[in-house]
Structures are given as C-alpha cells and as structure tokens.
Chains A and B, each alone.
Chain A
Amino acid sequence: EAQVTQNPRYLITVTGKKLTVTCSQNMNHEYMSWYRQDPGLGLRQIYYSMNVEVTDKGDVPEGYKVSRKEKRNFPLILESPSPNQTSLYFCASSLSYGGPTYEQYFGPGTRLTVT
C-alpha cells in the first residue's frame, strides 16, 4: 500500500531534550516536506526537499533541522525543543517530474508536546 509513515504518532518530552521524528514514504517520490499545524494558523511548511541531499527552508524553519540522505526518508530533528514547538506535525511527499508538485500525500501526523 502506498503510504507515508511517521513515528512516533504521539510524543511528550521536556524542554531541551533532542528528538527526531521519522518520516518514510514507499512511493519513490522525489519531493518531501514537513508541516506544522497550530490552531488558527493553518498548515505551515517547515522544510522541504526536492531530492536526496537537496533541502530548503519553508515558512517556519527556526528550531528545526532536516536531512535527506535517502530518497524514502526525511527525518525532522529538534535539537533543543521548546514549548512553542508543541504542535501537530505532518510529513508529506509527492512526485516532482517537472510538473506541479501539489498532489502531496500526507502522513498520519505526530502530536508533539514539549513541557
């Protein structure tokens, strides 16, 4: 089954404790992206990657890191989480063969709470 998986689905952590949220897709998609969703603010893009070893900042990249060493994986790293990073996070992927990349497939989400 074609899908985007994220782990963990729920995470409660403390300020400053480094964490990684994994994202994997099995559709051989070039484009992958991370979003956060907060009440009243909609979905905001954190980082995106157009292919292996190619990443770029979205609208809200501060406090986050990403890497794209393999086509299928795109982990989101919070080196020193803070309470304002408490949010619902989504990973997404899409084909990008020269056409529009907007048919994105989203993962189930990771609900992160930083205390």
Chain B
Amino acid sequence: LAKTTQPISMDSYEGQEVNITCSHNNIATNDYITWYQQFPSQGPRFIIQGYKTKVTNEVASLFIPADRKSSTLSLPRVSLSDTAVYYCLVGGGYQKVTFGIGTKLQVIP
C-alpha cells in the first residue's frame, strides 16, 4: 500500500478556492487516488477518484501530475459547510484500506 502524506490542517475564508495536496511517492501502477470527506461523528463520504490527469465532478476537481507521485484536491468557492476532514487514499483492488489522519479544513466566515 502506498503511504500518503497530507497537511494536518488548513484554514480558508469562505468563497475561496482550496487546494489540498497529497504526496504518495511510492504509488503503484495499478493504484487509484481517492478522496473522502468526513464531518464530525459521521462516516466518511466519497468525493472523487482518479488515476491520472484531471477529474472533475460537481463537488471537486482532482489534479494528478504525470508522475502520479502527488495529487491535489481542489474545492471551488468553499462555504462553511465544507469544514470537515479530508482524506487522501491510494490503492485499489481487493486489499486493506488505510485512511490516515487526514487534513482538517476550517472554513472561516
């Protein structure tokens, strides 16, 4: 399983774009990159997943450079309701899952 490193916490003002970067230097060829969001006392919620280049959905964008050793989750125009913990996961297939401690995003009014 590829180990991931992401900032422990970030602050952002409402309406700004937030970028959270995750490092995964030993990502394997078959690994996907997945991001989850978790609110206090709730289970994590899948946000976005990608393998390479850029993926966009209604919630976020995921940027993956050609070497795939890092990835950036981009949240456009955050609101107070985006205050949560964001987890970067790397892997795929039938295997153990490691969430880590994630990035705590605090959106400030």
Contacts and interface: CB of A to CB of B under 8 A. Distances in A.
Contact of A48 (B44, B46, B96, B99): B96
The size bracket of the interface on A is 20 to 34
Contacts of A31: 94
B41 A42 contact: no
A53 interface: no
B63 interface: no
**Majority-rule SS of B interface residues:** loop
Contact of A109 (B43, B92, B95): B43
A76 B57 CA distance: 34
B98 interface: yes
Q: Give the interface SS of chain A, mostly helix, strand, loop or mixed.
A: strand
Interface residues of B, number: 24
A62 to B, nearest CB: 15
Contact of A45 (B45, B92, B96): B96
Given A40-B101, A42-B87, A58-B97, 13 more contacts: A33-B97, A42-B99, A42-B102, A45-B96, A45-B99, A58-B96, A88-B41, A92-B43, A100-B32, A100-B92, A102-B32, A102-B91, A105-B46
